[in-house]
Amino acid sequence: MISLVVDGSPSGCRDAARDLRTLRTSLATLADQLAAVRAGSSPAWTGLAGERFRTRTGSVIAAADEQAEVVGTVAAALDALADRLDGVRAAMTAARMTAIGAGIPVGSDGLPGAAGLPPDQLEAHARALAAVGHARDREAEAQRQWTAVLARVTWQPTDDPRVLGATATVRGLGVAEGVRPFVDRLEGLLPGSGSPGLPSVPLPPLLPPPGRGGVGPGVVFRQLRRMQEEEWRQMDDDTDLDGLTLTERLARGMVMGTATGVGAFGAIALCMRVGATRKAVPVCGDVGAAAGAKAGDLILRAVDDR
């Protein structure tokens, strides 16, 4: 029996997307209203306390804006998933109709196998089978795209080897008194925080197996340069943050650089392990570096939220 069942409820997805859009609207409205309150408080409340009120209000506004953006993205993706599931179901119905049209006995949930069918039904059965295969491909792609969006919401630092790499790198800075709280918060992202020693980073080896060729120096230097650029970019960005010492900025930059590097070289190693061509390997590095830089952003935000 070849299943024609498509799991998931498009109407349920659309209902949930609608509720998410309501939440997004509330969050956006909240951010707007708080921005007005914040601005309106300036002439009525000056001095340190007033500034602290506006700082806290600003922090809530930023969080509301960020949440609104994420919730809106998830809602749109959920609608897209519903549309794709509808498309997969329509393709399954078309496959069923192809089989029924040829007189093939189709059950409620699936097509029969080809064994035992008369020769004049085999061609229609093959077409129906191909249509089911295409529909399953589309279903898998829909799920892949949806789970990629979910990953943005469900990202956990403890699942991400880039957090381990970044922590290991900045741990050495922890001896500097000013940066210790940052390193503590970063280490606090990891399971068993406070315990000495970090778990090993579960990445594939950078060196390829014997006989598989190596990575040219250009590929390595390109990613080293990206690490440095990301580190400096983060330090530049952090100049706008109040109260950060140079060492803390350096630590934050190193988190970003390390996450980028681990992403880049991890991706390169992975591509080499699966036999990517020499031309493809640098591209793997670029993609991994970009993903690593995004992870670096997530790490810093997670640390800031602690």
- 200: contact with another protein by CB under 8 A: no
Q: Give yes or no for residue 54 binding another protein (CB under 8 A).
A: no
* Choice between 44 and 115, CB closer to another protein: 44
**Residue 249 backbone dihedrals phi, psi, to 5 degrees:** -65, -40
Q: Tell me if 23 contacts another protein by CB under 8 A.
A: yes
Scored b (16 or more CB within 10 A) or e, 105-123 reads ebeeebbbeeeebeeebee
In sign, the C-alpha dihedral spanning 110, 113, 116, 119 is positive
Q: Closest separation between CB of residue 144 and another protein, Å?
A: 9
- Candidate list 28, 35, 50, 176; residue touching another protein; CB under 8 A: 50
Residues in Cβ contact with 83 at an 8 Å cutoff, skipping those fewer than 6 apart? 10
Decide whether 152 or 278 has the Cβ nearer to another protein.
152
Residue 6 touching another protein (CB under 8 A): yes
- The answer to whether the beta carbons of residues 275 and 245 sit under 8 Å apart is no
Instruction: Compute the CA torsion angle 230, 232, 234, 238 (nearest 10 deg).
Output: 180
**DSSP string for 216-261:** -HHHHHHHHHHHHHHHHHHHHHGGGSTT--HHHHHHHHHHHHHHHH
Which of 45, 212, 213, 301 binds another protein (CB under 8 A)? It is 45
Residues 254 and 246: their CA atoms lie apart, in Å, by 12
- For the segment 121-150, give every residue that binds another protein (CB under 8 A): 139, 143, 146-147, 150
Q: Which of residues 31 and 102 has its CB atom nearest to another protein in the complex?
A: 31
Does residue number 60 form part of the binding site for another protein (CB under 8 A)? yes
| Residue 47 binds another protein, judged by CB under 8 A | yes
Q: Which of 11, 151, 9, 149 is nearest to 75 (CA)?
A: 149
**Under a CB-based contact definition with an 8 Å cutoff, are residues 6 and 92 in contact?**
yes
Tokens representing residue 68 in the block: 């609104």
7 binds another protein (CB under 8 A): yes
In the structure encoding, which two tokens stand for residue 84, read together? 């794709």
Question: What tokens appear for 28 in the block?
Answer: 């956006």
Q: Which stretch binds another protein (CB under 8 A): 21-29, 116-124, 187-195, 210-218?
A: 21-29
Q: Pick the closer one to another protein by CB: 40 or 105.
A: 40
Number of residues that bind another protein (CB under 8 A): 49
Q: Which of residues 65-94 bind another protein (CB under 8 A)?
A: 67, 70-71, 74, 78, 81, 85
Q: Which of 46, 158, 193, 245 binds another protein (CB under 8 A)?
A: 46
- Residues near another protein (CB under 8 A) are 6-9, 12-13, 15-16, 19-20, 22-23, 26-27, 29-30, 33-34, 37, 40-41, 43-50, 53, 56-57, 60, 63-64, 67, 70-71, 74, 78, 81, 85, 139, 143, 146-147, 150, 153-154
